[in-house]
Every structure is written in structure tokens, then in C-alpha cells.
Amino acid sequence: MKVTKFSGELVYFDKSKLEKSLQKSGADQVMVDRILSEIEKTLYEGIPTKKIYKLAFQLLKKLSNAHAARYNLRTAVQNLGPAGFYFEKFIAKLFEKEGFQTQTNLIVNGKCIAHEVDVLLKKENTISMIECKFHGNQDAKTDVKVPLYILSRFNDLKNKDFTVFNSTYSIENCWIVTNNRFTEDAIQFAACSGLHLLSWDYPKGNTIRNKIDAYQLYPVTCLTTLSLAEKNKLLMQEIITVQDLIQHPDWLQKIELSPQRIKNCLREVNQLCTQYSKL
């Protein structure tokens, strides 16, 4: 049986791929088998993968809000758009967990022109820049044109002194980060040019997904107990992750949630930050 991808492409339905994604949510095999059985009853030729995903999410949510939140993680990161402003702040928080100091959204004068830098990193007197490539479509990939362009910007900025982090430094390294995937040409060119890449599935074992789980740094957009409008209100107040919400739970009251909904939301947050630390 064939299914229709987000791009409109027809591909054969891969049950094992769906099973693996459900397992990654933290659901046990009993839950996974139960959901797969229900989904198989609804399949038809050409069914959109988006519809399969939505049904799996709904079934997971009935069993566990936290499992559903993790299953929804990639979409949650995508919901840090539409322009990617909150995605940049989220990426800065991921690097802070690794001991970096960060600054976001800076205008820096290069040798030739001024450049907007999404994130600057500092660790042990080494300064790096991050350029974020945000995609609103899950099927979109970051191709080789992006590292080609960013390398030219990096070359204009490196070996030049700047006053950042309250002292004078030069930018020594460059990262490109995307919420989707890189093409093979992009990966090959970056490796050859000394650029560092980070994406949803690259590099293996240290991806955005791996980092989120390792630090329990789940974006508030993954929460199933909040509406999209409520999540956007939190983002506007710089409540980007569930850890921000733990530190500032009063914002749930400020966005006018009822006491019971606040309780439900904080329960989901606590489950996310305790149940999956070893996954």
C-alpha cells in the first residue's frame, strides 16, 4: 500500500518506521502494538502521511500526554516559526546547556559589509557564530547553496576583532543549524570547508533530537495540554522551553488558564523532564 508524503510523493507504507517513531516517544511495546493495530484499520491507498501522524498522535495522547508530546517533537520545533526567531533562541539554549555563553540576533561589521548573526557562542575565549536555517515544511532540505553562502559571510567576519561578551574577540568557528535535514552535498561541502553542521538527524548520535532528550530541553510548543494560541503567548514572553515554564509557572496563570489546566500542564511538564532523561 502506498501513502502520500507531505511533498505529494507516493511511497510504500513502512510500518517499521511508524513503529520506531512511536517507540521513540517513550511508549512501551504494548502501547505501540495497540496504536499500530488501530491505525492499520484506517489505512487506504494514497492516505496522507499527515493523517497517519495525526491519528497516531491522538491515540498516544489518550494514553499519555508526555508520550504524545515527545512524538510531536519535530512538529513542535517547526512551530517555533514561522520566521524562525524563536528557533534561534531555542538553539542558543541548547548550546548553553553545553557550557557556552550566548548572544542572539546581532549586527556585526565584517571586512566588507555588515552581517546579521543569529547566535554568537563563547567558551574558553573561543567565539563561534551560528547561522540558523529554519524550514516550515518538513520535507524541505538545506542544500549545498546554504553552506556556500554562509561560508562567504564567515570569511568576511573571521580574523576581525569585535567587542562581544564584554571584551574583544574574533570569530573562529561557524555552525549551520537547521530544524530539518541537510543534503549529502551540503554535508560534504561543510566537512571540506571546516563548517560545523547540526540538524534534526545530523550528526548521528548528537542531533537536535538527541540534545533535546539529553537535556530535557523540550520546547513549550510540544505540550499537548496547551492550545496553539496559549503556546504563542508564552513564546512572546520568552518562555521557550518547559524548563522556562518550571522556573516561571506564574505565566500559566497570566495567560488565564484555570487552576485545573495549570495542574494538568505542570504534570505533563514534570513527566517530560523526569521520565525521559535516560532515553
Over range 175-191, report the average pLDDT.
97
Cell of 28: 512501551
Given a cut of 70, whether residue 276 has pLDDT beyond it is no
* Residue 39 and residue 117 in one domain: no
Given a cut of 80, whether residue 278 has pLDDT beyond it is no
* Residue 42 and residue 127 in one domain: no
Over range 107-116, report the average pLDDT.
95
* Residue 58 and residue 124 in one domain: no
- Inter-residue long-range contacts of 182-186, CB under 8 Å, 24+ positions, other chains counted: 182/141, 182/142, 182/143, 183/141, 183/142, 183/143, 183/144, 185/143, 185/144, 186/141, 186/142, 186/143, 186/144, 186/146, 186/147
Over range 174-196, report the average pLDDT.
98
What's the pTM?
A: 0.91
Q: Could you report the per-residue pLDDT of 9-38, keeping only the tens digit for each? A: 899 999 999 999 999 898 999 999 999 999
Host domain of residue 178: 102-198
> Structurally, how many domains does the chain consist of?
2
Query: Where residue 158 sits, what CATH number does that domain have?
Result: 3.40.1350.10
Specify if 108 maps to a domain. Answer: yes
> Which of 14, 44, 63 represents a domain boundary (last residue)?
63
Given a cut of 60, whether residue 123 has pLDDT beyond it is yes
* Residue 106 and residue 59 in one domain: no
Q: Could you report the per-residue pLDDT of 207-229, keeping only the tens digit for each? A: 999 999 999 999 999 999 999 99
> Which of 173, 198, 223 represents a domain boundary (last residue)?
198
Q: Name the band, by pLDDT with cuts 50, 70 and 90, for residue 186.
A: very high
**Per residue in 158-188, is it b (16+ CB within 10 Å) or e — as a string?**
beeebebeeeeeebeebbbbbbbbbeeebbe
